[in-house]
Structure 1
Amino acid sequence: MNVSINTMTKPQKIGWGSAAAVVVANMVGTGVFTSLGFQVEILQNRYAILALWAVGGLNALLGAFAYAELGTHLRRSGGEYHYLSTLYHPFLGYLSGWISVTVGFGASIALTAMAMGFYMTPFIHQNPTLIAFVSIMVLSLVHSFNIRQSSLIQNGLTILKVLLIILLIVAGWYLPPAAKDSWQLVPAEPWAWSSTAFAVALVFVNYSYSGWNAAAYIVEEIRNPVKNLPRALIGGAAVVSVLYVLLQLSFLRQVPLEIMMRKVEVGHLAAESMFGPTIGNWFSVIIALLLASSLSAMVWVGPRITSSMAQDHDNWKFFRSQNKNGIPVRAIWFQALISLGLIMTGTFEQLLLYSGFILQLFNTLTIAGVFILRYKYPHLQGYRSPVFPWLQLIFLAISIWMLVFLLIDKPLESLLGVANLAVGALTFFWGKKMSQWFYPKTAVEVKKQEIRP
């Protein structure tokens, strides 16, 4: 039975702390514990890798300032989908929503669940694919009830994850360094700032930082978003950026580069080096369990995009249904099916490379939307990102530089993302044609003008 949220008791909303926990939980996840080995293979230079993580943190923080401005004026859940629909055109917004559903959350949930399975397999000796399947199913069920339950679980898991990272940082610095080799295995020249290697390695880092915009997807569920959304986005991104750089420094200090190269279980290698094999194995299990925090956050946030698209496009109307607590249950399980399908059809590395190009492209378009917002609506009051336009220009310069090198060096993975866009475009025009046949007017014409002072 379809239940309209407007006819029920006003749904519960969360404060900036829970919203920041969503940001932290979305950011601190698969990438920080799995991607370092790929960066080591590309750069083989500790200084370059630390610079890489610093640039990634700067990029996330700059993006958070821009999204805070967009989210406080375009106050509707859905993130890039709503921003691009309003500022550019509903077609571009639709493509962004399509990519968010199929790649931004669908593939990220699959990657996180696969990482959990990989970390847990040596300990419980179960098929990692089975572990990934069960994890997605259980958390989808948990988030199908109410926001308060989601908030409590999210906050608890996020606190445990941050404490684990702090422990690894402190131990990495307190214990004698195990990695006694030189801080670079190759001369400095190959990691020059203009190099293709640095730009491609930045893709892995940006994936690790992805999630800095998570609170923007649930802005309608945040109390006083004008005040709390900027706090959540900027505060969450800043905290995670510092933790990331310190954690990678700890890993690089404790594990020789040649051992980390192309390894996924970097957290396990570091813990084993610092505490010995037995405790290292337990850390592997703990990391796997805390990856459930990221998985939980994405299972919670992602379906809001599907729900927003359903309000605007008649070919998605099946997902307009919400339960009595305002939870888009059908959208949650649709997202789960996408993630389960990706687990069955791709490897970890294939999914990560496939995601990188197209997600960065839409983040770039969204940040550029701040210029359009200020041009179209110069008298808007409320939160405005500082020192405009320099923060946005720096983000765009870094992003475009990375996209160009990625397209040159990884054309297959980049073009696969473009092919997914083509599929999304077909569904848009099919839905538009269906609306002309069966419905006199779509909701897009109404929804895209929702600008708040």
Structure 2
Amino acid sequence: MNEGSTGARMESQNCSTGHSVDYQAKDKQHVKATVLQKDVGLFSGICLIVGTMIGSGIFISPKAVLLYSGAVGPCLLIWAACGVLATLGALCYAELGTMITKSGGEYSYLMEAFGSIAAYLYSWTTVMVLKPSSFAIITLSFAEYASTPFYPGCTPPLVVTKCLSAAAIFVIVIVNCLSVKLASYVQNIFTAAKLFIIVVIVGAGIVMLAQGRTETFSNAFEGSSSSVGTIGLAFYNGLWAYDGWNQLNFITEELKDPYRNLPLAILIGIPLVSVCYVMVNVAYFTVMSSTEVLLSPAVAVTFGDRVLHPLSWIVPLFVVFSTFGSANGSCFTAGRLAYVSGRGGHMVKILSYISLKRYTPSPALIFNGMLTICYIIPADINTLINYFSFAQWVFYGLTALALIVMRFTRKELHRPVKVPIVIPGFIVLVSCYLVLAPIIDKPDLEYLYCAMFIFSGLLLYYPFIYRRVNWARKLMRPITMHLQLLMEVVPPEKTE
């Protein structure tokens, strides 16, 4: 599909003289190629991982793990085990990311290992549903906590929450379209803010422990669940809070020295989050009993009311900061996946274009933002996420399997990082378990609907990607050209 580059030449020839001269002048002024620039260093990479992983979950509702594990002891063990699993999975991604230094995360790896169809089904599901709906849920959490102080004693009106969520989406998309460095600065600032409140909670918990507040930890394993399916659901909810450990692989092309910084950011960022999660849960249990944790609508807020009373308002304030930073990281990486999918011919070509002035994938970012706005309109999209999130672990398992497959089929590839093959094998088994556990425990038809949606993408794949019907290309060419002129974007230059 070469109409993109053809369109770029058409614009220079067919547009007004003013546009043509302007573009030529810009080409002379800029020495940088029109590609995504390597503006993300080690510190920003760590902040992207930490800032995307730590959203609202650890502050609002860690009770799901406690509910399914049945007691405090196994609850804390599961939080720690989830951190180990996330680290092992990220190590697999470190090998893949340093072996295939392309942005797009799983999309690029599935393409190399299994070919076009597997990569397309991943991009179809993730670009159209998983990324924008997750972005929507994070911004809705942000809006709820940001608006609550203005409606004391009652729930904020739904229209206010949704309008504030839409405003947050608009601001985040604009920031990411303007500059990669600006988006990185925003991510760094909000990551520092959420780490600050975590330090405050952990510090208060240590003080409580020193004062002998250990009642909840006595008989910590009493009432533990012995059901394999229930324990699986506890892990499932814990790993949902850890989700985001693979975010850096979506922007590999923008990393400075990815061979060094990718694995180093993973080995620093994910253990840091794991320690934070375990210590925060310990702090919660120094103040609240298991029953009180299960009954609390927002555990961190209840903790703040009891321990930080004169300054308890800082907890919901920093939850707002945390969710905004997590939403920024989600938008940053989602745009890169849409960009790479467009570049690979699995999405419309305009999504692979780059801003001539800003060097950002602005069409892909705007497209993700528009989808996200659509997802905040329904009354409740949490159900959608709950049923589609099992698909995420299907792709995690396939990606780990891709690593194993390429050990035999792509032996010639340079591997600066090489993990023992038993690790991706273990991740494949865990993924199978996590996909099957919720379905076996509660076999709802919604899982079938999700599977049908995923494979329905093949109805578009065959005519438009495999067969490349001419009328579709003719229809898209003028649309692409006008959007290109409107947004001042161009196809990425080939640097190889």
Alignment of 1:130-145 (within 5 A): 130-145=163-178
Q: Secondary structure in 1 aligned to 2:94?
A: helix
361, 366, 388: which one pairs with 1:333?
366
336, 339, 344: which one pairs with 1:307?
339
Post-superposition offset of 1:221? 0.2
1:170 corresponding residue in structure 2:
203
341, 361, 373: which one pairs with 2:394?
361
Gaps of at least 5 residues in structure 1 are 441-449
Q: Secondary structure in 1 aligned to 2:434?
A: helix
Question: Partner amino acid for 1:41?
Answer: L
TM-score normalised by the chain length of structure 1: 0.89
Question: Within 1, Cα distance between the matches of 2:334 and 2:36?
Answer: 22
Cα deviation, 1:148-169, whole Å, max 9, x if unaligned, reads: 1111111111112112112111
Q: Secondary structure in 2 aligned to 1:106?
A: helix
Q: Secondary structure in 1 aligned to 2:39?
A: coil
Q: Which aligned runs of 4 or more in structure 1 are off by greater than 6 angstroms?
A: 1-6
Question: Within 2, Cα distance between the matches of 1:238 and 1:186?
Answer: 25
Gaps of at least 5 residues in structure 2 are 1-6, 9-22, 475-493
1:92 corresponding residue in structure 2:
118
404, 409, 417: which one pairs with 1:376?
409
Question: Partner amino acid for 1:360?
Answer: W
388, 405, 410: which one pairs with 2:442?
410
Question: Within 2, Cα distance between the matches of 1:261 and 1:119?
Answer: 20
Q: Secondary structure in 2 aligned to 1:435?
A: coil
TM-score normalised by the chain length of structure 2: 0.81
Alignment of 1:9-408 (within 5 A): 11-125=37-151, 126=156, 127-175=160-208, 176=211, 180=215, 187-189=222-224, 191-192=225-226, 195-261=228-294, 263-276=296-309, 279-313=311-345, 315-324=347-356, 325-347=358-380, 349-386=382-419, 388-408=420-440
CA contact (8 A) 2:138 2:326 kept: yes
Change (3 A) 1:327 1:410: farther
Cα deviation, 1:348-403, whole Å, max 9, x if unaligned, reads: 642441242111111111011111121112243332333x1222222222222222
Query: Aligned residue pairs: how many?
Result: 438
CA contact (8 A) 2:130 2:385 kept: no
Question: Within 1, Cα distance between the matches of 2:136 and 2:36?
Answer: 33
Post-superposition offset of 1:340? 2.0
Question: Partner amino acid for 1:292?
Answer: F
Looking at CA atoms only, which structure, 1 or 2, has the larger radius of gyration?
2
CA contact (8 A) 1:37 1:264 kept: no
CA contact (8 A) 1:29 1:291 kept: yes
Post-superposition offset of 1:179? 8.1
Question: Within 2, Cα distance between the matches of 1:409 and 1:342?
Answer: 28
Cα deviation, 1:279-327, whole Å, max 9, x if unaligned, reads: 3233112211222111111111111111111112265112122102321
Cα deviation, 1:7-59, whole Å, max 9, x if unaligned, reads: 54883422122112111111111322234122333333111211221121111
Change (3 A) 1:426 1:406: same
Q: Considering only aligned residues, what root-mean-square deviation do their CA atoms show, in Å?
A: 2.8
Q: Secondary structure in 1 aligned to 2:177?
A: coil
Question: Within 1, Cα distance between the matches of 2:162 and 2:293?
Answer: 24
Question: Partner amino acid for 1:391?
Answer: I
Which moved further from structure 2: 348-357 or 145-154?
348-357
Q: Secondary structure in 2 aligned to 1:59?
A: helix
Question: Within 2, Cα distance between the matches of 1:235 and 1:80?
Answer: 21
1:446 corresponding residue in structure 2:
none
